[in-house]
Amino acid sequence: MMAMLYNDKVIKHFTDPHNVGEMQNPDGEGIYGSPVCGDMMKISIKVEDDVIVDAKFKTFGCGSAIASSSVATDMIKGKTIEDALKITNQDVLDELGGLPSIKVHCSVLADHAIRSAIYDYARRAGKYYAGLEGFDPNADEDDREHGCDMENK
């Protein structure tokens, strides 16, 4: 079955994802992807004393996009902003225990969405984080492995 393509941890995070939902008065919000590309993740964060105390997500996307959203929000909860900014796609992938190679691009969503949410928080709170240096939440998505053929055409 299709489910055989994924390991148990991915299936668990997909069928019973953590941190699904929206937040009342979030301190920061980030969106990455688009429905046209097949996946769009939205992350909301609550921040206290530079620590992410809560994170929620909503994702339109395939099974691994949902699983990586779940894992990524788990990973940033309780972390300082600077530590959360250090999370890479590979970290999310490792935490999931790997994805089929064709699906690896899905975990890229989480990394970018986290940065976007922190960027939004920093802008609202008037803060500066070295880890955001050079980050543009509206940059082209061409760093994604499968890009988005339909939009680029």
Partner 1 sequence: MKRQVYLDYSATTPVKDEVLQAMLPYFTQNFGNPSSLYSIGQEAKQALEEARERVAALIGANVREIFFTSSGTEADNWAVIEAAESRAKKGKHIITTKIEHHALLHSCEYLEKKGFSVTYLDIDGEGFVDPALLERALTDETTLVSIMFANNEIGTVQPIEKLAEIAKKRGALFHTDAVQALGNIPIDVRALGVDLLSVSAHKIYGPKGIGALYIRKGVSLPSHVHGGGQENKKRAGTENLTGIVGFGKAAELSARDLNAHIEKLTELRNYFLDKIRENIPDIQVNGNLTHRLPGNLNVTFKYIEGEALLLLLDLDGIAVSTGSACSSASLTPSHVLTALGVPVEMIHGSLRFTVGDFTTKEDIDYTVNCLIKNVEKLRNISSVSKEKGW
Collapsing DSSP states into helix, strand and coil, what is residue 82? helix
Instruction: Report in angstroms how near the CB of residue 64 gets to partner 1 at its nearest.
Output: 8
What are the two backbone dihedrals, phi and then psi, of residue 44, each rounded to the nearest 5 degrees? -120, 140
- Nearest in space to 41 (alpha carbons), one of 111, 95, 109, 118: 109
Q: Is 65 in the site for partner 1 (CB under 8 A)?
A: yes
One-letter amino acid for residue 74 of the chain = D
Q: Is 60 in the site for partner 1 (CB under 8 A)?
A: yes
Using the rule CB under 8 A, give the single segment among 46-54, 84-92, 130-138, 142-150 that binds partner 1: 142-150
Q: Which residue has the tokens 């949410």?
A: 117
Active-site entry in 10, 26, 37, 122: 37
Nearest residue (CB) to partner 1, 20 versus 51: 20
Collapsing DSSP states into helix, strand and coil, what is residue 54? strand
Told to judge if 62 belongs to the known catalytic residues of this protein, a careful annotator would answer no
Active-site entry in 45, 65, 87, 106: 106
Told to judge if 106 belongs to the known catalytic residues of this protein, a careful annotator would answer yes
Give the span between the Cα atoms of 153 and 145, in whole angstroms. Answer: 16
Instruction: Report in angstroms how near the CB of residue 104 gets to partner 1 at its nearest.
Output: 11
Give the span between the Cα atoms of 66 and 80, in whole angstroms. Answer: 24
Nearest residue (CB) to partner 1, 2 versus 130: 2
Structure tokens at 40: 């769009």
Using the rule CB under 8 A, give the single segment among 11-19, 71-79, 120-128, 129-137 that binds partner 1: 11-19
**CA atoms lying within 13 Å on the CB side of residue 74:** 14
- Positions annotated as catalytic residues are 37, 106
For partner 1, the binding residues (CB under 8 A) are 1-3, 6, 11, 14-15, 17, 20, 31, 34-36, 38-42, 58-63, 65-66, 102-103, 106, 146, 149-150
